[in-house]
Amino acid sequence: MATLIERFTGAKRVVIKIGSALLVDGETGQLRKSWLTALVKDIAVMRRRGQEVLIVSSGSIAMGRSVLGLKPGTLRLEESQAAAATGQVLLAHAYQEILGLEDLTIAQILLTLSDTEERRRYLNARSTLSTLLSLNAIPVINENDTVATSEIRYGDNDRLAARVAQMIGADCLILLSDIDGLYEADPTHTPEARFLPEVNELSEDIMAMAGGVQTAVGSGGMVTKLKAAQIAMAAGCNMFIANGTIERPLKAISEDNARFTCFTAKDTPRNARKKWIAASLSSQGQLVVDTGAEKALQVGKSLLPAGVSDVHGEFERGDLVILVNQQGRELGRGLSAYSASDALRIIGHKSSEIAEILGYSGRDEMIHRDELALN
């Protein structure tokens, strides 16, 4: 079994969340450039280990409010959005410049709550992130504060980071914070509070330990971190809370005397996703597969259009469909890469013919094996 440190160093896909209090000086509103430069060295080491990295970064509002001369204290929604619009430009430029020193390419992604909850937008966002990773870019993600209203916002990047990890099938999420992990009580008020290096289950007692601590420039606290842990663990993703105030915080996690809290997932992202698909009750349609495809599915293959003989129901790309064989027996469930109308046009055809038939290049598979749960 992997050690806690190996759950980080051995992860294939890692999401790193950086809080405002770490990235931006609370008094001046200026980027802590030397800290970010040191962090990027850690990210470069991760990339050399073969790890894919995504960054969820706070900081745009904290930087923008300083430039706009907004007064300290709580901002009105429209002031926060103006600050975000201003600060996001500065933040993206800083990441581009500093990651560029390590020959790392970045791409800016702005998401709203709806982008991770509405199926079509979720699929588009996931596809974009997957493509960027395949092209060796590092997505730098933030909430799109300039268009999100108070009713449709995450309000903190801890949960956004967890949703991104869930969306992209990450096996590790790192929340860099101004605290080194979870304590039984707030250590600033209870110095003798016991530190928890590992959490295997988010019981009521664990959730009650959160308290309400938050920083002057950040919007999160331990409550939001534990809610992020709920999302991550359910998705098969290990989550770390680690002290980001030190220089080279990611390097510190990989050392023998590392201090952090690891929320250990009981499953892998792939298995967790398959269990979710298998447990889904509502399906939008059926795909009838031929004998050859049925045999291919049993040995772990994806379902190709050539192996589908008929389509029933009305469904869109990403909807759950039931797979049945020629005798009508249910074989399993999966997420269709095509709508019912497009599926009808390409069934029985080779994947190489899809672009000519539909006029666009979709996925080679009707249902990818990672999005398929067999009975």
Give per-residue pLDDT as tens, 282-296: 788 999 999 999 999
Instruction: List the domain boundaries for the chain.
Output: 4-269, 280-374
pLDDT digits (tens, 9 = 90+) for 57-71: 988 988 999 899 998
Residue 156: per-residue pLDDT: 74
- Sort residue 157 into left (φ over 0), alpha (ψ -120 to 50) or beta: alpha
Residue 76: per-residue pLDDT: 86
Handedness of CA 179, 204, 269, 360 (dihedral sign): negative
| pLDDT band, very low/low/confident/very high, at 154 (cuts 50, 70, 90) | low
CA distance 192 to 62: 33
Q: What letter would DSSP give residue 156?
A: S
Cβ(261)–Cβ(229) under 8 Å? Answer: no
Nearest Cα to 119, choosing from 261, 280, 250? Answer: 280
Residue 152: per-residue pLDDT: 45
Amino acid letter at 91? L
Residue 220: per-residue pLDDT: 52
Residue 235: per-residue pLDDT: 94
Residue 34: per-residue pLDDT: 96
Nearest Cα to 58, choosing from 28, 36, 27, 41? Answer: 36
Q: Between β-strands 330-335 and 320-324, what pairing exists: parallel, antiparallel or unpaired? A: antiparallel
Residue 134: per-residue pLDDT: 96
Residue percentage of the chain with pLDDT more than 90:
66
Q: Is the pLDDT of residue 263 over 80?
A: yes
Say whether domain 4-269 belongs to CATH 3.40.50.10420.
no
CA distance 229 to 209: 14
Q: Is the pLDDT of residue 216 over 50?
A: no
pTM for the predicted model, two decimal places: 0.85
Residue 278: per-residue pLDDT: 86
Residue 282: per-residue pLDDT: 78
Residue 1: per-residue pLDDT: 63
Rounded (10°) CA dihedral 17, 19, 22, 26: 170
| pLDDT band, very low/low/confident/very high, at 310 (cuts 50, 70, 90) | very high
CA distance 181 to 176: 9
372 beta partners: 334
CATH topology of domain 280-374: 2.30.130
pLDDT digits (tens, 9 = 90+) for 74-129: 888 889 889 989 999 999 999 999 999 999 999 999 988 778 777 778 888 999 99
Do domains 4-269 and 280-374 share one topology? The answer is: no
